[in-house]
């Protein structure tokens, strides 16, 4: 379905980003990966799906590096047809104790980077009259949780940015939508599970149940592959008129 299209997925060397990148690759899209840590393994996984893949290590908190990444993607594959703004970090603390530098970093990476990547991708999408911008928000783009002020603010901002991007391109073939996951068992969340298990002296499985039980009625994690399949839907012709939605895959979290 996506043969001859190019998808750039930020924060895609693991977790949700890699899951989305693999789902798009299975539909034939060439992939530009981005993120910290090991890049060779994820590139090999994508290449095994029979598409072209490359990597750019832009620090998503730095606009100049984002510009370099977008230029690199365009030079390598012609243009970015599908942009997935997924890069994100987290820090947990009460507002009065929240380190200012952590607030600034979370807003820069989780919100501002999506603005920069989008503004750079849109002209080519508009010229082609086809494009997909998919912003990975969070259920925290729809509801709040204590001690996550920067993350919640950034993800609410992503949902707002999604709506504006969709409206500004509403009469074109360019769409913008947001995915809002609940708990996803990524390496980041597994660390939270491990910490809870250690702190309470319980098993890893019991820690997972407790984590899910606090927020997610389905009592099951959403998977990166499921999120990837939603991204594929947003790229399909069936979603040509799906514009500006914040689509939660959260096991009923926001329904409560």
Catalytically active residues are 151
Neighbours of 112 (CB within 10 A): 19
Q: Cα–Cα distance between 181 and 178 in angstroms, integer?
A: 10
Query: What is the residue whose two structure tokens read 């980077």?
Result: 113
Q: Retrieve residue 126's tokens.
A: 């508009």
Q: Cα–Cα distance between 47 and 63 in angstroms, integer?
A: 28
Give a three-class secondary structure readout of 60-91.
Answer: CCCHHHHHHHHHHHHHHHCCCCEEEECCCCCC
113 HSE (CA, 13 A, CB side): 34
Q: Cα–Cα distance between 189 and 244 in angstroms, integer?
A: 27
Task: Look at residues 8, 165, 153, 151 and name the one whose alpha carbon lies nearest to residue 92.
Answer: 151
CA distance from start to end of the chain: 36
Cα radius of gyration (the chain) = 18
């Amino acid at each position: 379905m996506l043969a001859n299209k190019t998808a750039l997925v930020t924060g895609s060397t693991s977790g949700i980003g890699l899951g989305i990148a693999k789902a798009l690759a299975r539909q034939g899209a060439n992939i530009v990966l981005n993120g910290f840590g090991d890049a060779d393994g994820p590139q090999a996984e994508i290449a095994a799906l029979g598409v072209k893949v490359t990597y750019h290590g832009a620090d998503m908190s730095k606009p100049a590096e984002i510009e370099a990444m977008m230029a690199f993607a365009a030079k390598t594959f012609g243009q970015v047809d599908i942009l997935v703004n997924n890069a994100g970090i987290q820090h947990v603390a009460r507002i009065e104790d929240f380190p200012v530098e952590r607030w600034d970093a979370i807003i820069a990476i989780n919100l501002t980077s999506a603005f920069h990547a989008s503004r750079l991708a849109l002209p080519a999408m508009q010229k082609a009259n086809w494009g997909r911008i998919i912003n990975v928000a969070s259920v925290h783009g729809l509801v709040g949780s204590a001690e996550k002020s920067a993350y919640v603010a950034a993800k609410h901002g992503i949902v707002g940015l999604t709506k504006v991007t969709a409206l500004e391109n509403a009469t074109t073939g360019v769409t913008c939508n947001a995915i809002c996951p609940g708990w996803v068992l990524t390496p980041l969340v597994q660390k939270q599970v491990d910490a809870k298990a250690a702190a309470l002296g319980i098993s890893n499985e019991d820690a997972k149940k407790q984590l899910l039980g606090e927020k997610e009625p389905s009592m099951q994690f959403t998977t990166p592959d499921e999120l990837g399949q939603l991204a594929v839907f947003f790229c399909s012709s069936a979603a040509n008129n799906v514009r500006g939605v914040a689509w939660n895959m959260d096991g009923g979290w926001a329904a409560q």
